[in-house]
Structure 1
Amino acid sequence: MTVPDPTSSAAGAAPAHPLPTEAPDAPPGPIGNMVEGAYATVMARALPATDSNAAGEGDVLYSGQASHYARRVLQARPELAAVVADAARAPLTRTWMEARLQALHAPSADAEAAAAQALRRLRAEVMCVVIERDLRGLAPLGEITGAMTDLAELGIQFGLRVLGDDLAATYGRPTGAQSGEVQELVVVGMGKLGGRELNVSSDIDLIFLYDEDGDTQGGARSLSNHEYFIRVGRRLITLLSEVTADGYVFRVDMRLRPNGDAGPLVCSLGMLEEYLVVQGREWERYAWIKGRVVSALDTPHATRTAALLGRLTTPFVFRRYLDYGVIAAIRALHAQIRAEAAKRSGGLAGHGVNQRSFNIKLGRGGIREIEFMAQVFQLIRGGQDAALRVRPTLEVLDVAVARNLLPAGQAEQLADAYRFLRQLEHRLQYRDDAQTHHLPTSEDEQLAVARMMGYEDWPALVAQMNALMAPVAQQFEATFADPFSDPDAPQCEALWPEIVREGQGSRPTQDGPDETDPESSPCQRLQAAGFSDCTGLYDRLRAIATSVRYRALSESSRARFDQLVNRALDLANKQDDADSTIARFLDFLDAISRRASYLSLLSEYPQAMDRVAQTLHASRWAAAYLTRHPQLLDELLDSEALASAPDWPAFRARVAERLQVAHGQVEMQMDILRREHHAETFRILLQDLHGLLTVEQVADRLSDLADAMLEVTLGAVWAQLATRHAETPRFAVIAYGRLGGKELGYASDLDIIFLYDDDHERAPDVYAAYARRLITWLTSHTAAGMLFDVDMRLRPNGAAGLLVTSFDAFRRYQLREGDNTAWVWEHQALTRARWCAGDSAIGARFEALREEVLRQPRDAAALRDEIVQMRAKVAEGHPNPTPLFDLKHDRGGMVDIEFTVQYLVLLHSGAHPSLTGNKGNIALLRMAGELGLIDKTLAVAVGDAYRLFRARQHKLRLDGQDQARVPPASVADQTAQVQALWRAVFGE
């Protein structure tokens, strides 16, 4: 019988169960493109003619034409055609499956046999409907894999209920010895079942667990819980996988359980935990990424057990640090997989004989490589970013793009290839319900599969397959290539192994060479490589090679460490200060030597090692910062981020999201804040060291970063505060000093005060507790370091005052209303104050109050005397016993300029409101010159001097000097200009 074209008049009368011939929402990719045309017409022409339509009068079921399996099912159960035709009009749902299972399940004395038959018949119906909807272009990939996953979960849960009821009469129910609660078998779905990505003919990877030991109670006989659950597990496997006259439900694979086939079929959670801690292997981490409880979760005990399992497996899978060691592990695992696949298939260079047995799952550019590309992000970063712990592959790629871990274009290539290959996988499996990933060998099968994919012939399909898989293979090989396969060896490569061998026991004899003699071979080679202090360097290297720390390294870590020392010697000798660079390098490598992940990162990414060398060479402070916070190595991998300007709203949103995910885990939240702050600081530092930022831009970015960190910390701490009385605190942070003037440095502390404006009776106590908690979050040392040093002494009454001040009390204090009033120096400080975080309404009121205070009339002579006396006190507190000039505190330096600007602002803002703007000292000096308050030329000169002083101070701090002191002659012209302005303003 010729298959009629349902879109033509020749199709005859309307079928009894008409099916749609076009998809309202076509899935992406080639299938979607085909659906946009006459999909049904193409399919009718493409599929072979047959006399076994079995769809009823006028019905055309493409499942019966394209799939040998579906054809057999429809022939065996003719009534199924109407069911399939009706069901194919809408997406498959779990609700539909449950209704069909109830209709198919006939009560019987043999409950297990009745359940087995009902599940097998349901599986046949689901398969036919899935095939029908897929071939008509009605079902996107997610619907197909979701339907098969729902079927598997339904089968497991239904089977457990039937088996539990059947066993109860004999053995009762398993009961926990400690809790007395009824225990349940916890079935964990792994692999594609766990990720809700099950293919149509897949087996299901399961692990059977239970919570407590004990015995069954309430039956004629008693078993231990362990023995009981073994019986349940065995019968469940049989129920699902045994082949009967009705087929099977799912093949079951139990090899992912602890110890595989050699381990017990069922294990307790305690046994699983011990196994993962003691014996858990790297590949099992990959497997557990998708692990998910698929047995029923509708009881309190099951819910608690699932949560307990999550807490047990999460630390095993997702390390708290950035785990770059997984790259080498995946590389090794994939090499084994590819070697195995190569035994059974050739290349895919074209559509000739070599591709005949190609495996689209395990072959080059195949499904497994896409999955590995997604999993590597999860395994490296999932411990620090919970968003990456999602299970479906396509969702992981989306998160990777959102986190800027993967360019959107590359993610799109991977996703397109993944969808195409999964669709092709399904069509291969539709043919005979076989779990195959190999391309067909016969021409007839090739043509049938090509037509099912929407192509006119096999070469066209293979060409598209090649075009999609080639970028996958290229991305995979770029990600997992061995970085040390380069034949160009570093100049010093042979030196370090020689030193190690000597350190392991080879000593010079009395008549032999002295290895510490500059004329001996190692020292000569170090000197030839560009190191001046070759004896000192040799001694340092020898000390490392003989150290307990080095000898305690694992074999793999020691190999990586050796590679990095060789590379460090080679990179350092290219710098003009090779000795100081290698000294910093060795300090750095010593600090990270016990962290296998950091050694792996530098081993896997030579470009990161190059940037480490540049950073260590450029700045002693940067070297110390990186050594203290080696997790920042990760930042060296993103070249685009190192050159781009920060997006502060996006930064705050990202950090707030991560804090929300970790809500209730205070230590984790504090670590998130520190890691984010360190990372952003390091990005600014790297741009600074590369000359991309001016000193003013560095200060602006560091100040904006501090503002952002304060903002997100306020939200996180308030959410944790048990005594809070409102959803949103009416609380603000006011910045003074360097932060207030947006002149923050890398190591600056934060001068801040806290204000609130809230009439609630508990507000003072609540906000006091809030402020204390906030300071703790900002200043505590955790495993990730410290966030900020905080100085609260600028609050009203200083250290003797309240930690938090109501806005009204602060206003009265600043306006000198009452007995307790602000000092002149506090008004000086107010010239560089601003709202930086918290309630913006309080911030607006503060800015208005600040302007009001600064514009108050003041007596010039009294103000001058106050500021001169305060300047003298500051000078007394910062003596300089050296012949060098202190850029900040010596007369003619930065403090003189700052005090002069503050005096001008306090004295003249009443007449010139523009002076109240927090615009920085240089801008305010020039403004004062334009207004005629000081000599205009002198104002410009002093402003330039201030910029120079800041730049010199900044450079000295980066060089690791705590005191910014320089030869007086180098700044003589500038100090003279500053002193001239001081005399002109203060008359001294």
Structure 2
Amino acid sequence: MRRLRNLVIAALIRRDLGGQADLDEVVTTMTAFGDFAVQRVLAAVSADMSAQHGTPIGEDSGEEQELIVLGMGKLGGGELNVSSDIDLIFVYHEDGETRTTSPEQRPMSNHEFFVRTGKKLIAALAEITEDGFTFRVDMALRPNGNSGPLAASFGMVEEYLIVQGREWERYAWVKARALTGKPADIAVLEKIIRPFVYRRYLDYGSIDAIRNMHAQIRAEVTRQETRHPERSHNVKLGRGGIREIEFLAQVFQLIRGGRDAGLRDRSTRKTLHALAERQLLKPETVDELLHAYTFLRNLEHRLQYLDDAQTHTLPANDADRLTVARMMGCDDTAALLAALEEQRNLVARHFDEIFSDRKGDAKDEETKVEAELHVVLSSTDSEESIAHYLGNLGFDEPAEAARRMVSTWRSPRLQTLPEASRNKLVALVNASLPIIAKVADKHAVTLGRLLDFLEAIARRAAYLALLTEYPHALERVIRMIAASNWAAMYLTRHPLLLDELLDDRTLKATPDWTAFGREVRQRLEESPGDTERQMDVLREMHHAQLIRLLAQDLVGDLSVEKLADHLSALADTLVAETIHAIWMTFPNRHRDEPRFAVIAYGKLGGKELGYASDLDVIFLYDDDHPDAPALYARLAQRFITWMTAHTPAGILFDVDIALRPDGASGLLVSTVASFEKYQTTSAWLWEHQALTRARYCAGDADIGSRFETIRENVLRQPRESNTLKREVLAMRAKLREAHPSKSADFDLKHDAGGMIDIEFIVQYMVLRHAAQYPQLTGDIGNIALLKLFGELGLIDAELAVKTGDAYRTFRKMQHQSRLQGIEQARVGIDKVKDEITAVTLLYVQVFA
């Protein structure tokens, strides 16, 4: 093995310096050799141990046990150096004893067996002979470090990680990779490790932890370089070195890996690429970091080529430095040092952008105010002092705001917080007060919403850390909740969305729904068989898109119509991907893609969806397979469950299926043929009215096309004018009786002259005239249809435009009410007098 190692390294040096091998070939080859060496040597020493002591057997399972060797660090990450130690951890599944088969064998406990096996493995790899060594072995990363047992059972590992595992160990265990062992045992071990490394929430506390760890490393490097100036230029641990790039990649893994399995790759390079794909780092930033990483790792290898030593610093003597410079393609040492400085400065700049201590740049006066308020808020008699301070800031109701602050601070929820979290919470409130005074119209109301939000997240230190690390996110939260009570409640229910407020690029970007659909499918496929996780993925991705649209909406970047288009497209995409994901869970599916479609009615059908709208849908299929009816009924039932079930991430959508053929007494799913027959021969007129706002939403496109044909044929049926008018007016009267006016203010939706009157005008006109004018069957929305009626001379063109404008105004006002959390939108009649007049006049003309 030692001779093979020498040959491998000699070949890599020749190929690398000859320009035939790149960094990937070098580190991949060394990793593969490391895996090979560990596996072959372990097999040999295990066979020797079993010959002497028997086979280790688990006391619970009765199954044969094997030593699992975990590769850590660069070996675990698949990026091993040419002259690197290998960091290993030895674990095994169960305790027990060895089972002997001959009197010569001496039984022993599994623990002792694997400890001895591990010692023999280390010796066989690391002892120096006339041929050198295979690998130096470092076991310091095992539980309890060098003072801990050399081999640990799964139970011991789990207890250690839960009770004693420290933040830096999370960073180390990101790289853990099993080099040996049975797949079933490895799967069990990964379930133990994953919750320790990856939190289910976004863990922004990792930033501070890694910042502190990095500061300790840098302090030690500075101390060593001060004592030994000849050891300067540490390309691994120095400022702008390899470790800073690794930290940059891994902080995102620790923050987000619990939510995004695509960020759990052990390779630094692959993780950086994943960060660019997810727009967590700019692509150009990732390109620069990867270029610097390649430069620094190549330089690290050339330093190690000199003497086969695990070194990361430039050699002390000039001759060796010149040799290294030439190996790097530089003319002289000065050129190498200049190139090195350029790359290190670049890395350091990107590192500081992420890890700079944002708390450290507060002005002295602000710090003093925070300290004073901390004392005030901790006092039992503090309202007067707080009110005075808020009055100086310009708060509209300082006394009320002060009472609310003191009440919140004295609440049991906050009083039982750890001191560090309480201090962080007070600092956030103090930082927020000047912002509220600047951006809010109603200061006390906004402060109340903010305190509700902070109370809700107070026990999640990671969220407090996020707002502390990113002051601009705190300001964005305040602006959103000042503008909208609905936004405040939504953020309070889903604080995970704070993460979406960090990056202007994604927050303000125009949605790409095709790309979003691909991302949803990819994320769902990362959790096969885990229904709860897949349901949460759908909800989290829905929430993320919703908060982006909300942010654009609140600053006026989206019209009501454009917002509704986006919300409808978002729902379409999620419906489509949900159907696909559910279908893939059916083991007895008889085809790759279901012959099944979802048809949208109501607001979704008319592409007028709001932030919290229900989905009115029906389900159609076209499949002659004998199992099809039962299978598609199950698909529809599961779809409703996936949409409506309450999970830790909330619900996705409420679903209404009342518009299916025969309503509540009808089948959950219908064949296309039976749907066509029902609509042609049995449907009520109000069902045809509903059909004017129906469209194919998701699923099989051929079924969608057939539905559109059926819809057009039904809407184009000749109808007797008076009968049609009488039935439409009767239905309108029923709706009015169901929603009587109980206020002097105008109900934008239900009152005469409001939105429903406009919708009934449009539905009647389509049903009355589509037989003669087929273009009226287009699903183009009420405003466009009104304009089209005018252009065709079916109604007064000027009045049609005014009514369309009224509908737009009503929708905008309704939307503003919903943003303030008001479900039934009412306004003073004087505000919409002209709009009501236009609608009423057209209503009378159409239904006279």
Please indicate, yes or no, whether the TM-score normalized by the shorter chain is above 0.5.
yes
Deviation at 1:488, TM superposition (A): 2.4
Q: Secondary structure at the match of 2:359?
A: coil
Alpha carbons of structure 1 residues 496 and 963: separation in structure 2 relative to 1, 3 Å? farther
Which of 600, 625, 644 matches 1:779? 644
Residue 126 of structure 2 corresponds to residue 241 of structure 1: yes
Contact 2:806–2:835 (CA<8 Å) still a contact in 1?
Answer: yes
Give the AA of the match of 2:638.
Answer: R
Instruction: Determine the structure 2 residue equivalent to 1:879.
Output: 740
Which of 186, 200, 224 matches 1:320? 200
Q: Kindly report which structure 2 residues correspond to 1:415-564, keeping only aligned pairs within 5 A, or say none.
A: 415-488=290-363, 498=372, 500-501=374-375, 504=378, 506-507=379-380, 515-516=382-383, 520-564=384-428
Deviation at 1:214, TM superposition (A): 1.2
Deviations 1:764-815 (A, max 9, x none): 1111111111100000010001100111011111111111111111000111
Q: Kindly report which structure 2 residues correspond to 1:660-675, keeping only aligned pairs within 5 A, or say none.
A: 660-675=525-540
Give the AA of the match of 1:174.
Answer: P
Q: Secondary structure at the match of 1:573?
A: helix
Residue 447 of structure 2 corresponds to residue 582 of structure 1: yes
Give the AA of the match of 1:949.
Answer: F
CA distance in 2, matches of 1:853, 1:503: 68
CA distance in 2, matches of 1:441, 1:540: 65
Give the AA of the match of 1:335.
Answer: A
Contact 1:496–1:565 (CA<8 Å) still a contact in 2?
Answer: no
Instruction: Determine the structure 2 residue equivalent to 1:283.
Output: 168
Instruction: Determine the structure 1 residue equivalent to 2:288.
Output: 413
CA distance in 2, matches of 1:824, 1:176: 72
- Tell which deviates more after alignment, 538-547 or 668-677: 538-547
Which of 534, 548, 551 matches 1:683? 548
Give the AA of the match of 1:713.
Answer: T
Residue 126 of structure 2 corresponds to residue 262 of structure 1: no
Contact 1:398–1:411 (CA<8 Å) still a contact in 2?
Answer: yes
Q: Secondary structure at the match of 1:175?
A: strand
Q: Kindly report which structure 2 residues correspond to 1:797-876, keeping only aligned pairs within 5 A, or say none.
A: 797-816=662-681, 821-876=682-737
Deviation at 1:490, TM superposition (A): 7.5
Unaligned ranges ≥5, structure 1: 1-118, 348-352, 509-514
Larger Rg over CA atoms: 1
CA distance in 2, matches of 1:763, 1:123: 60
Give the AA of the match of 1:201.
Answer: S
CA distance in 2, matches of 1:234, 1:934: 93
Q: Kindly report which structure 2 residues correspond to 1:112-261, keeping only aligned pairs within 5 A, or say none.
A: 119-218=1-100, 219=102, 220-261=105-146
CA distance in 1, matches of 2:590, 2:372: 68
Contact 2:53–2:106 (CA<8 Å) still a contact in 1?
Answer: yes
Q: Kindly report which structure 2 residues correspond to 1:97-112, keeping only aligned pairs within 5 A, or say none.
A: none
Give the AA of the match of 2:429.
Answer: V
Give the AA of the match of 2:164.
Answer: Q
CA distance in 2, matches of 1:500, 1:389: 40
Deviation at 1:652, TM superposition (A): 0.3
Give the AA of the match of 1:373.
Answer: L
Deviation at 1:497, TM superposition (A): 5.0
Contact 1:164–1:232 (CA<8 Å) still a contact in 2?
Answer: yes
Residue 176 of structure 2 corresponds to residue 311 of structure 1: no
Residue 483 of structure 2 corresponds to residue 598 of structure 1: no
Q: How many residues align?
A: 844
Residue 257 of structure 2 corresponds to residue 382 of structure 1: yes
Give the AA of the match of 1:831.
Answer: T
Contact 1:163–1:232 (CA<8 Å) still a contact in 2?
Answer: yes
Give the AA of the match of 2:33.
Answer: L
CA distance in 2, matches of 1:499, 1:414: 43
Residue 518 of structure 2 corresponds to residue 653 of structure 1: yes
Deviation at 1:327, TM superposition (A): 0.4
Contact 2:397–2:443 (CA<8 Å) still a contact in 1?
Answer: no
Contact 1:258–1:275 (CA<8 Å) still a contact in 2?
Answer: yes
Give the AA of the match of 2:743.
Answer: T
Which of 620, 630, 653 matches 1:788? 653
CA distance in 1, matches of 2:406, 2:758: 52
Contact 1:490–1:566 (CA<8 Å) still a contact in 2?
Answer: no
The TM-score normalised by the length of structure 2 is 0.98
CA distance in 1, matches of 2:50, 2:543: 59
Give the AA of the match of 2:62.
Answer: G
Deviation at 1:502, TM superposition (A): 5.4
Deviation at 1:546, TM superposition (A): 2.4
Contact 2:70–2:179 (CA<8 Å) still a contact in 1?
Answer: yes
Instruction: Determine the structure 2 residue equivalent to 1:82.
Output: none
Deviation at 1:354, TM superposition (A): 7.3
CA distance in 2, matches of 1:679, 1:587: 21
Deviations 1:729-763 (A, max 9, x none): 10000000100000001111011000111111121
Contact 2:568–2:609 (CA<8 Å) still a contact in 1?
Answer: yes
Contact 1:258–1:272 (CA<8 Å) still a contact in 2?
Answer: yes
CA distance in 1, matches of 2:370, 2:50: 69
Residue 764 of structure 2 corresponds to residue 903 of structure 1: yes
Contact 2:57–2:96 (CA<8 Å) still a contact in 1?
Answer: yes
Give the AA of the match of 2:620.
Answer: L
Which of 793, 797, 801 matches 1:932? 793
- Tell which deviates more after alignment, 937-946 or 152-161: 152-161
Q: Secondary structure at the match of 1:187?
A: strand
Give the AA of the match of 2:561.
Answer: E
Q: Secondary structure at the match of 1:484?
A: helix
Q: Secondary structure at the match of 1:880?
A: coil
CA distance in 2, matches of 1:699, 1:262: 62
Contact 2:98–2:107 (CA<8 Å) still a contact in 1?
Answer: yes
Deviation at 1:521, TM superposition (A): 2.9
Contact 2:92–2:152 (CA<8 Å) still a contact in 1?
Answer: yes
CA distance in 2, matches of 1:548, 1:272: 36
Percent identity between matched residues is 54
Q: Secondary structure at the match of 2:358?
A: coil
Q: Secondary structure at the match of 1:206?
A: strand
Tell me which protein shows more helix as a share of its residues: 2
CA distance in 2, matches of 1:549, 1:355: 56
Deviation at 1:498, TM superposition (A): 4.7
Q: Kindly report which structure 2 residues correspond to 1:65-104, keeping only aligned pairs within 5 A, or say none.
A: none
Unaligned ranges ≥5, structure 2: none
Contact 1:496–1:566 (CA<8 Å) still a contact in 2?
Answer: yes
CA distance in 2, matches of 1:932, 1:338: 79
CA distance in 2, matches of 1:150, 1:914: 66
Contact 2:374–2:426 (CA<8 Å) still a contact in 1?
Answer: no
Give the AA of the match of 2:474.
Answer: M
CA distance in 2, matches of 1:837, 1:507: 59
Give the AA of the match of 1:893.
Answer: G
Deviation at 1:940, TM superposition (A): 0.9
Q: Secondary structure at the match of 2:90?
A: strand
Alpha carbons of structure 1 residues 179 and 572: separation in structure 2 relative to 1, 3 Å? same
The TM-score normalised by the length of structure 1 is 0.84
Deviation at 1:489, TM superposition (A): 5.8
Instruction: Determine the structure 2 residue equivalent to 1:750.
Output: 615
Q: Secondary structure at the match of 1:567?
A: helix
Contact 1:346–1:355 (CA<8 Å) still a contact in 2?
Answer: no
Give the AA of the match of 1:198.
Answer: L
Deviation at 1:562, TM superposition (A): 2.0
